[in-house]
Amino acid sequence: MWVAEQLIKSASCGAVVAWLPQARPEQIRRLQVCAQSFEGLAFLCRPEGARHEASAAPLRVLAVCGPDWELRLQILKRRGPTLDDPIVLPSTPGGLACVITPRLRRPSRLFGREVPADAVGRPVVALRPRRDTAVQ
C-alpha cells in the first residue's frame, strides 16, 4: 500500500499495478484520491471475492480467462450507464487472423469436457518404487 502510494505521488513511472488483496475501503479511497492527480495509469488488483465490497474506485472490472485464452471483462462499476454484457477480447490479434490456420481458429474442444488423463495440468500420481528393484 505504502509503495503504491509513493509511486503515484512521485510520478516516477507511467503506470502502477498493485496487488492488495486485503485493502480496506479507506485505503482504496486514499489511493483513488492520490491517483486523481497522477498522469499515468493506476491499477489496484484484488481477489474476485472483493467484487461485492464497496469501493471508491471509479472503474471496477472483473477479468476472466475464457475459451482459447480470450479475455472477458465484466464492467462492475463505471461512470455513466451500466454495461451488462461483458467485453470479449480475443487472444489472437486481428492482424494475425489471416495467417493462422483454419484449425487454430476454431474454439478449443478442451473446454466443457473432462481433462484427459494424459493432458498437461492433470493431477500427478506419485509413483511407488518397485519392490523387486535394488537400491544402489
pLDDT in tens, 18-56: 999 988 889 999 999 999 989 999 999 999 888 888 888
Cα–Cα distance measured from residue 12 to residue 7, given in angstroms and rounded to the nearest whole number: 6
Q: What is the pTM of this model?
A: 0.64
Cα–Cα distance measured from residue 36 to residue 58, given in angstroms and rounded to the nearest whole number: 10
Nearest to 57 by CA among 23, 83, 7, 11: 23
Confidence of residue 108 (pLDDT cuts 50, 70, 90): low
Residue bearing the bigger pLDDT, 125 or 77:
77
pLDDT, averaged across the chain: 79
Largest CA distance in the chain: 73
Q: Provide the 10 A C-beta neighbour count for residue 37.
A: 9
- How do the domains of the chain map onto residue ranges? 1-56, 59-107
pLDDT of the residue at 107: 60
Q: Give the 3-state secondary structure of residue 7.
A: helix
